[in-house]
Amino acid sequence: MSFGTEARRVRDTALPHRRRYGALRSAVSRYKPLGFLATWSYITSHAGDVRRDERALVRALEVLEASRTAWHAELAAFARRRAIDKRRRRDVTVEEGRYRHGWRWHGPDAHDAMARTVAALWRQHEAAHVPEADGGIAEIIRGYVERGGRLDPAWAPPLRRWLADRHRLLDGLAYGDLHKMAELIAHDALALIRPGGLGDAEEIARVFLAARAQMTYLPRLHTDEETRWWIREVVIPGSRVWVAEREGRVIGFAALRGSWLDHLYVAPASQAAGVGTALLDRAKRGRRSLDLHVFQHNTGAWRFYERHGFTLVSTGDDNEEGLPDAHLRWARP
């Protein structure tokens, strides 16, 4: 039976409660983004006593359906983007494949679902007294749980590296629940960094316009529609673009042209959360140096780049806005 058939049975008041309860379990067996037990635990924790209360059965189903609807919307957006970009399956990076198909709750309650699941799995892990020859991942998981489902920004790079190595070499099997917990934390706290393309043009323009709107010192030289055209027809075709995605939405992007980092913007609501650092780290990968220009008025961005190893080359005002800027450069040690 399909998920939809089982959902209708859960709501069918003509059926005995036992049948409706069984239908809910069958629905979970067909959509279980956290695994069956963790998904069941999460939806029933919000609903009440599903064994006896028919309203609790429906509440639990609604939590599950909301997540599944968000998942389908994300898959549809992914398909539209790939159709525009005319990409093939092999163009999806290992990290993006894990993000699309790995352990992850979808929908507005994603953080709550994944943080609760990690905490429960960690309690089981500690009770089992498993030896921790794990490359340090247990300390990251322990810290995340102790901080109430928050990841210290300093743990983001080692978490990404651990997942990349273990997923490629061992496919997670050798580490069991440690791998599952690490993946859930990454999908909760970190943005996916993936290649961008024309299918992302509208979202990239949205991020650009929102970020630039905060820079009140900038003169308004172009309409929003002109900016969208420029992103679609100039920036994306002429650059190597990387985007940061969370919960199916683009929240930041970087555009590289040769050794120049022409653009790095993060949506205002996602700033100061490590997104810019992740994009910059990806831009640096495989390069000996990077150059960029930053407005001198943008002191926050200047400090950000200095923290990441950029130094001043020169100052000037050779930009469309006619404002003082600075040429900064990073060189690999």
- In tens, the pLDDT along 263-296 reads 999 999 999 889 999 999 999 999 999 999 999 9
32 & 106 share domain: no
Packing angle between helix 54-85 and helix 17-30, nearest 10 degrees?
20
243 & 298 share domain: yes
212 & 280 share domain: yes
* d(C-alpha 213, C-alpha 114), whole Å: 33
Q: Which one of 156, 189, 222 terminates a domain?
A: 189
The pLDDT score that the predictor gives to residue 313 is 97
241 & 144 share domain: no
Q: Which has the higher per-residue pLDDT, 45 or 93?
A: 45
* Site of tokens 């970009």: 85
The pLDDT score that the predictor gives to residue 132 is 61
The pLDDT score that the predictor gives to residue 63 is 97
CA–CA distances in Å: residue 66 to residues 40, 132, 329: 14, 37, 46
Q: Contact at 8 Å (CB) between 196 and 236?
A: yes
> Residue 72: CB partners within 8 Å, gap ≥ 6?
none
Q: Contact at 8 Å (CB) between 247 and 216?
A: no
The pLDDT score that the predictor gives to residue 165 is 78
84 & 147 share domain: no
Torsion of CA 272, 277, 283, 289, to 10 degrees: 120
47 & 122 share domain: no
169 & 47 share domain: no
The pLDDT score that the predictor gives to residue 85 is 84
Q: Which one of 89, 110, 126 terminates a domain?
A: 89
* d(C-alpha 255, C-alpha 290), whole Å: 12
The pLDDT score that the predictor gives to residue 217 is 93
What mean pLDDT comes out for the span 169-174? 48
Q: How confident is the model at residue 109 (pLDDT cuts 50, 70, 90)?
A: very high
Mean pLDDT of the chain: 92
What mean pLDDT comes out for the span 46-57? 93
Q: How confident is the model at residue 60 (pLDDT cuts 50, 70, 90)?
A: very high
> Residue 95: CB partners within 8 Å, gap ≥ 6?
160, 163, 164, 192, 193, 194
pTM: predicted TM-score of the whole model, two decimal places: 0.87
Buried b (16+ CB within 10 A) or exposed e, 281-310: bbbbeeeeebbbbbbebbeebbebbeeeeb
Torsion of CA 135, 133, 151, 252, to 10 degrees: 40
Q: How confident is the model at residue 166 (pLDDT cuts 50, 70, 90)?
A: low
Whether 160 shows a pLDDT value over 60: the answer reads yes
* d(C-alpha 269, C-alpha 275), whole Å: 11
Q: Which domain holds residue 44?
A: 3-89
The pLDDT score that the predictor gives to residue 172 is 46
Number of domains in the chain: 3
327 & 231 share domain: yes
The pLDDT score that the predictor gives to residue 293 is 97
The pLDDT score that the predictor gives to residue 163 is 87
164 & 118 share domain: yes
223 & 275 share domain: yes
Whether 298 shows a pLDDT value over 50: the answer reads yes
The pLDDT score that the predictor gives to residue 295 is 96
Nearest CA to 190 among 153, 221, 227? 153
* d(C-alpha 253, C-alpha 282), whole Å: 11
CA torsion through residues 275, 278, 283, 284, sign? positive
The token pair that represents 209 in the structure block: 């316009």
219 & 127 share domain: no
Q: Which one of 43, 63, 89 terminates a domain?
A: 89
Q: How confident is the model at residue 82 (pLDDT cuts 50, 70, 90)?
A: confident
* d(C-alpha 103, C-alpha 225), whole Å: 38
> Residue 116: CB partners within 8 Å, gap ≥ 6?
42, 45, 149
Whether 176 shows a pLDDT value over 90: the answer reads no
How many C-alpha atoms does 87 have within 13 Å on its Cβ side? 18
CB-neighbour burial class of residue 199 (10 A; exposed 0-12, middle 13-18, buried 19+): buried
Q: For strand 249-257 and strand 260-266, is the pairing parallel, antiparallel, or unpaired? A: antiparallel
What mean pLDDT comes out for the span 46-62? 94
221 & 284 share domain: yes
